[in-house]
Amino acid sequence: MVFVQEQKTPPFLNILFSGEDGSNSKIALCVKGISFSNPLMVYRLVEWIELQKLLGVDRIFFHYTNVATEILDMLKYYERKGHIDLKEYVWAGPYSK
């Protein structure tokens, strides 16, 4: 369940989502579909995820396709820890493999 609250100041929307335990989190971040075949990108992604956690992001939603095994293993680690939601993106129609 997603709630949107408008505040007078500061001028932005506060987006809340309910966790599985019923608690409300503060910030969620949606990432466009990623497709990194270079296994060295794992270091940049770890750094970026950790930075988002330091900035107060509670949950990051990832869609992925064609990622290196090392990257997928790292993303599944963060998913087990509850920091990200991970969904495979499948191309439809003539773009599918």
Q: Are 43 and 56 in contact (CB under 8 A)?
A: no
- The pLDDT score that the predictor gives to residue 73 is 95
- The pLDDT score that the predictor gives to residue 51 is 93
Residues in Cβ contact with 13 at an 8 Å cutoff, skipping those fewer than 6 apart: 4, 5, 6
- Prediction pTM value: 0.68
pLDDT by 10s per residue, the chain, length 97: 444 444 444 444 455 556 666 665 578 888 888 888 888 899 999 999 999 999 888 899 998 988 999 999 999 999 999 999 999 887 776 655 5
